[in-house]
Amino acid sequence: MSEIYAIRCTNCGGSLNIRGGGRVTTVTCEYCSSVLDMTAEYKVLSQFQDKYRPTVPFKLGMVGTIKGVEWTIIGWVSYKTTDFPVERWSEFFLYSPLYGYGWLIYEEGILSFSKRVRDFSLLKWQKNKTNKMPFFRKSHYMLAEEPYNIEIDFVQGELSWVAKANDTIRCWDYNGPNHKSLTVEKSANELESYLNERLNNKEIYASFGVKQEDQVEEELSTIDSLFKEDTLEASDKSRKSFLMQMAILIVVIALTIGYSFVSSKTLFETDTNQPFSQLIKVDSSAFLSKIVIKAPTPAILDTLKFGIYNRDSYVFTIDKNSLNSKNGNIGRTWDRGDDEVTIYLKLERGEYRVRLNMSPPLDAYSKIKVVIEEKVVRLTYLLIVLALLLISVALSYKSNTPNNGSQSKSQYLWLFFAAIFGYVFFGFYILLFIGAFYMIASYSKDAENLWDNDDD
């Protein structure tokens, strides 16, 4: 703990305790809010009277441990942003005889430790302020928001600089890894950089002896409250575990869906110069069937008539003049000069007869290639994958969640339901995606290549 000595305020005579080291230069009287110059016989430099006084859980003289070091709160500054919406927070000036000065930052229940860092190159930063990703102590930091201006709202106790009510400070905040951030502050006289680190409220309140009724907790979002653990590290682990599971799930489903669009089973394939009639069997109605007809020349393609039929009647037919579909006229046939046509059709599950006719007959050297493919990955496979992943996620949560109290159990349940909700939500979007694909496919150029039916 630091040494304490007491003086009298030169303005109002109130008693002031001086706690903090050789670098403090001012002390602000808690009774009359006069800022006294400790380097010039405590003459009054300015006053903060009638200024807003925030309600905070900490007060001057409190002693606590942060990062394994004992600190004494020797000063208190409240800041506010100058732009709308106005944000306010308090910074408590800390002193340790071993580690010098630091700041305990309090903002709406969030606690952080901040310490000036000298090894961040402010000269380089000044040269390249547009760099939104400075590198510091082996980590990248990213500009969190546009630079903003702040001014002092309230001050009390000792500081290592002269606080003035109308002084404006411009700040640049950069977010880094592991709940760390970097702040560059530019005032009229100084340019400084600070490294900030999120703290665990429970530990800090206990260490500084903050009464239970004075302790303020951060208002967590629903998602954040799901992952809240006793320590920041444990919360991170819980969140990372969930995100990892979701990432794996999304990748697997995306790969499965992607594969479904490129994978296919060939139902029928032939190279022929003769008319044919062939039975095919479609196993699934989940995806489109693809039909490719390729002729040696456009003139030969124009001699062809192709049709698919079920027991009762045609499903669709196509030739150079027209197409006809059981579901109505959905487009036009191929263009003059084409020697190949690709058709996507939604065929219901069942048996079909495929017929190819040509008039006049082809010579022996002209071959027509006809390929009919069915997509092989079905929605049911996706559901199986989802079910398997859901089970694996549930098992993972069970193994990762400490089974030592009702809070953990309720968290486990929340996570489990959140996961199910996530999967259902994601599945809904998959269905939307598939529906959109059908819609687009129905109106695609290839679909337009279907021609009017001249079926018997």
The two tokens of residue 297 are 């020349």
- For other proteins, the binding residue among 26, 46, 72, 96 (CB under 8 A) is 96
Contact between residue 192 and residue 101 where contact means Cβ atoms under 8 Å apart? no
- For other proteins, the binding residue among 21, 54, 275, 298 (CB under 8 A) is 21
As beta bridge partners, residue 280 has 352
Q: Is 22 in the site for other proteins (CB under 8 A)?
A: yes
Q: Is 123 in the site for other proteins (CB under 8 A)?
A: yes
For other proteins, give the closer residue by CB, 24 or 36: 24
Q: Binding marks (x or -) toward other proteins, 135..154, rule CB under 8 A?
A: --x-----------------
Helix/strand/coil for 41: coil
How is 58-100 classified by DSSP, letter by letter?
A: --TT-EEEETTEEEEEEEEEEEEESSSSP-EEEEEEEEETTTE
Residue type, 28: T
Beta carbons within 8 Å of 4's beta carbon, 6+ residues apart: 17, 18, 19
- For other proteins, the binding residue among 45, 122, 280, 385 (CB under 8 A) is 122
Q: Is 156 in the site for other proteins (CB under 8 A)?
A: no
Q: Is 120 in the site for other proteins (CB under 8 A)?
A: yes
Instruction: Choose one: 122-130, 204-212, 248-256, 282-290; the region binding other proteins (CB under 8 A).
Output: 122-130
Question: CB burial class (10 A; 0-12, 13-18, 19+) of residue 336?
Answer: exposed
Q: Is 427 in the site for other proteins (CB under 8 A)?
A: no
- For other proteins, the binding residue among 16, 35, 36, 38 (CB under 8 A) is 38
Q: Is 364 in the site for other proteins (CB under 8 A)?
A: no
The two tokens of residue 329 are 């006229």
Question: CB burial class (10 A; 0-12, 13-18, 19+) of residue 404?
Answer: exposed
Q: How far is the CB of 14 from other proteins (least distance, A)?
A: 22
The two tokens of residue 322 are 């027209």
Q: How far is the CB of 400 from other proteins (least distance, A)?
A: 31
- For other proteins, the binding residue among 15, 49, 82, 121 (CB under 8 A) is 121
How is 52-65 classified by DSSP, letter by letter?
A: -----S--TT-EEE
Q: Is 67 in the site for other proteins (CB under 8 A)?
A: yes
Q: How far is the CB of 123 from other proteins (least distance, A)?
A: 5
Which chain residues interact with other proteins by CB under 8 A?
21-25, 38-39, 67, 96-102, 115-124, 127, 137
